[in-house]
Amino acid sequence: MLRSVLSAMAAPNSTVKYGIVGVGMMGREHLINLHHLRTEGVVVAAIADPYVPSQQLALELAQSFDWQLKVFSGHQELLDSGLCDVVVVSTPNMTHYEILMDIINYPKPHHVLVEKPLCTTVAHCKEVLNAARKRQDMLVQVGLEYRYMPPVTKLIEIVKGGNLGPVKMVAIREHRFPFLVKVNNWNRFNANSGGTLVEKCCHFFDLMRLFAGANPVRVMASGAIDVNHKDEIYDGKVPDIIDNAYVIVEFDNGSRGMLDLCMFAEGSKNEQEISVVGEIGKGEAFVPESIVRFGSRVAGRDGVQTSKAEDKRIKYDGLHHGSSYLEHLNFLSAIRAEGQQAPAVGLQDGLISVAIGVAAQLSIEKGRFVMIEEVMDEHKCD
């Protein structure tokens, strides 16, 4: 069944028609990436966004690509148009749940690439997962695209190749600029974004889990809003999103992860520094320098190898070092594989990365370790 429906939607040589719901900064980034995939038989047929300035900017881009796309003000009209095989959801985080449920429950199947975080709460992620299980005729990929940044991919290969031995520690440092200004300032409040450790850091919790090869057990975090956004006011309210945190995650195979987040650290050479240490070796990745280091305990400091990571398939670097391009390439290949290939980053990955973020936010609030089962089974939350 899955195979025949999927093959009807995207036979190997047919054009795959995309719709983009939400054409703000990230939606337009998807539009540009898909344009760079046009030789792979990709076209954007429609966009949906209620905000006219976002529509206009997306239309200007589409016109410069010679793409005649339809413009809608909401996702329901886009679905009803029947124009799209694939829908990219790049709307504010708090809207993902409703939009995803409408797409998944829509009679005509649409494959979905949803931006991270999957949803802002664990309960909503679980509902989406349960609904999607009933739709064997659709593929859903979650936009945890840091996996595709070339130095990160190379480090994943080093780790999965067994070069470090069993992984014991994963440390991820993100030191960067503050959150950007968004349409209607949705990202200034936890209620909209899920909180900084969900909104931004689901990427890093996903990577930790991938490197550790395990699932999280408990989380301890310390964080606050100390520097950014304190002089901003929206509808009488000051933003409540934290701008720095340390988060410790313990995994069920005994390994542990640590996130060091600072969002007032423009004076950094790299935005992300990742270190993975196993029983026999250590690997590191640096973004955007795109450098990977790898050494063993036996060879010591003099034996550390440094290399530049690149992926020649990338036709557009964009805002995220080519990872959005590779994410699309990968999802397209799953679509064209007609049900023989699952999306590389599935709904379970989306759920667990959100659950770690929710646990970390709760840990800051409560000042204690939070068990993952507490947030997965919300009845256990006090």
* Binding string, residues 99-118; x marks residues near ligand NAD by CB under 6 A: ----------------xx--
> Does residue number 49 form part of the binding site for ligand NAD (CB under 6 A)?
yes
As measured in angstroms, the least distance from the Cβ of 323 to ligand NAD is 8
> Does residue number 254 form part of the binding site for ligand NAD (CB under 6 A)?
no
Q: Do residues 330 and 315 lie in contact, with contact meaning Cβ atoms separated by under 8 Å?
A: no
Q: Do residues 357 and 117 lie in contact, with contact meaning Cβ atoms separated by under 8 Å?
A: yes
> Does residue number 374 form part of the binding site for ligand NAD (CB under 6 A)?
no
55 vs 215, which CB is nearer to ligand NAD? 55
Number of residues binding to ligand NAD, judged by CB under 6 A:
28
As measured in angstroms, the least distance from the Cβ of 189 to ligand NAD is 13
As measured in angstroms, the least distance from the Cβ of 23 to ligand NAD is 6
Angle between helices 25-35 and 323-336 (to 10 degrees): 60
168 vs 176, which CB is nearer to ligand NAD? 176
Applying CB under 6 A, among 17, 35, 36, 75 the residue interacting with ligand NAD is: 75
As measured in angstroms, the least distance from the Cβ of 224 to ligand NAD is 21
* Binding string, residues 150-189; x marks residues near ligand NAD by CB under 6 A: --------------------------------xx--x---
Label residue 180 exposed, middle or buried (CB < 10 Å: 0-12, 13-18, 19+): exposed
Q: Do residues 311 and 156 lie in contact, with contact meaning Cβ atoms separated by under 8 Å?
A: no
Q: In this chain, which stretch among 89-97, 258-266, 271-279, 280-288 interacts with ligand NAD, using CB under 6 A?
A: 89-97
Applying CB under 6 A, among 209, 320, 321, 328 the residue interacting with ligand NAD is: 320
Q: In this chain, which stretch among 90-98, 132-140, 233-241, 298-306 interacts with ligand NAD, using CB under 6 A?
A: 90-98
156 vs 277, which CB is nearer to ligand NAD? 156
96 vs 282, which CB is nearer to ligand NAD? 96
Within 6-35, the residues that bind ligand NAD by CB under 6 A are: 21-27
> Does residue number 350 form part of the binding site for ligand NAD (CB under 6 A)?
no
N-to-C CA span, the chain:
44
Q: Which residue is nearest to ligand NAD (CB)?
A: 24
> Does residue number 143 form part of the binding site for ligand NAD (CB under 6 A)?
yes
Applying CB under 6 A, among 10, 48, 69, 359 the residue interacting with ligand NAD is: 48
Dist. CA 373–CA 270, nearest whole Å:
34
> Does residue number 321 form part of the binding site for ligand NAD (CB under 6 A)?
no
> Does residue number 54 form part of the binding site for ligand NAD (CB under 6 A)?
yes
Dist. CA 16–CA 2, nearest whole Å:
17
- Strands 42-48 and 370-371, bridge-based pairing: unpaired
Dist. CA 93–CA 206, nearest whole Å:
17
What's the token pair of residue 220? 């301890």
As measured in angstroms, the least distance from the Cβ of 193 to ligand NAD is 7
Binding site for ligand NAD (CB under 6 A): 21-27, 48-51, 54, 74-75, 90-93, 95, 115-116, 143, 145, 182-183, 186, 199, 320
